[in-house]
Structure 1
């Protein structure tokens, strides 16, 4: 248990609180919870590097918390009919594909793929889109500005999310083909 990991656990504990606040329409409190979560996200990464406390658990918790916040925001906003359910399906569908790819890679004794820059940019877009949508709900006087910017980020984020997904898919296929070719080459060498 390191300080950065405790901060990540705290972030995870805030996810259901955040989701409930969105669903019941407490947009200002939901936004405040998201700000606290974002600050702890920054702080856990900074402390992990500064204190030399980077752990495998922390490397798993941080992206898991990020995904859960994206899902919670999407589900909460879709529940309130502020975003269409197709956007939820697009985002969740890509992550389901990545889970399937991770299982396939694990079955071939290969760990998770490194995060691609396109995937980081897609996540960045979604991290801006969803809070900006919430900002417009929490403070309707600025919705005229926040909502168009949020939708621009959301559409680009969804597009890039799938672009990164296809990059991961092609990398998985390449790895499996290379591994099979290696096994066949070893088999031919043993037969000779």
Structure 2
């Protein structure tokens, strides 16, 4: 257990905090909690890379924490009627697919693909979409659909990277 991994675990702890604020009508404060979670994500990644503290557990837990937080955010936005069910369904399919696929292959000894630039960009774009939704900007849902499309492209890139990372070299 190191500082980056503790920061990752703190994101799991922030999920119920976010939900408490959101469902008690403090939507903007809930968004601030989401931003704090995002900042811990940036900080843990920075510390892990610059201090040589990358661990297999961290490589698996970091994206899991992000996905779990995002799933809870999507559920809260869906239940409150702030996003259409079709957008929520698309986001669930993508995120649950990534979680289940990652866990399935991790526990079978396959190597996990670390976060890449596209994954980080997708996360930033989702945060912007949520910001636009929370502040009820007229283009928020259109922008959300754009981000959903980008997230599927990002997933495809991760799948390709996973296949290359775990390919078996055939001996002549």
Unaligned runs of 5+ in 1: 137-142
Secondary structure of 1:53 counterpart: coil
Aligned pair in 2 of structure 1 residues 117, 51: CA closer, same or farther (>3 Å)?
A: closer
Q: Residues 74 and 88 of structure 1 are in contact (CA less than 8 Å); yes or no, is this contact kept in structure 2?
A: yes
After alignment, is 166-175 or 3-12 more displaced? 166-175
Q: Deviations over 1:59-83 (max 9, x none)?
A: 2222122112211111101110111
Q: Residues 113 and 165 of structure 2 are in contact (CA less than 8 Å); yes or no, is this contact kept in structure 1?
A: no
Within 5 Å, which residues of 2 pair with 1:21-100? 21-99=21-99
Aligned pair in 2 of structure 1 residues 57, 40: CA closer, same or farther (>3 Å)?
A: same
Q: Residues 125 and 157 of structure 1 are in contact (CA less than 8 Å); yes or no, is this contact kept in structure 2?
A: yes
Per the TM alignment, residue 25 of structure 1 is displaced from its structure 2 partner at its CA by: 1.9
Per the TM alignment, residue 87 of structure 1 is displaced from its structure 2 partner at its CA by: 1.1
Instruction: Give me the whole-angstrom Cα distance separating, in 2, the residues matched to 1:34 and 1:133.
Output: 13
Instruction: Give me the whole-angstrom Cα distance separating, in 2, the residues matched to 1:80 and 1:41.
Output: 26
Q: 2:143 aligns with which of 147, 153, 156?
A: 153
Q: 2:154 aligns with which of 155, 164, 188?
A: 164
After alignment, is 101-110 or 48-57 more displaced? 101-110
Q: Residues 78 and 84 of structure 1 are in contact (CA less than 8 Å); yes or no, is this contact kept in structure 2?
A: yes
Per the TM alignment, residue 95 of structure 1 is displaced from its structure 2 partner at its CA by: 2.6
Per the TM alignment, residue 101 of structure 1 is displaced from its structure 2 partner at its CA by: 4.4
Instruction: Give me the whole-angstrom Cα distance separating, in 1, the residues matched to 2:43 and 2:115.
Output: 21
Instruction: Give me the whole-angstrom Cα distance separating, in 1, the residues matched to 2:109 and 2:50.
Output: 33
Which structure: greater helix fraction?
1
Instruction: Give me the whole-angstrom Cα distance separating, in 2, the residues matched to 1:147 and 1:75.
Output: 21
Instruction: Give me the whole-angstrom Cα distance separating, in 2, the residues matched to 1:172 and 1:104.
Output: 13
Tell me the C-alpha RMSD between the 2 structures: 3.1
Instruction: Give me the whole-angstrom Cα distance separating, in 2, the residues matched to 1:59 and 1:174.
Output: 17
Instruction: Give me the whole-angstrom Cα distance separating, in 1, the residues matched to 2:95 and 2:82.
Output: 22
Aligned pair in 2 of structure 1 residues 56, 167: CA closer, same or farther (>3 Å)?
A: closer
Instruction: Give me the whole-angstrom Cα distance separating, in 1, the residues matched to 2:12 and 2:108.
Output: 31
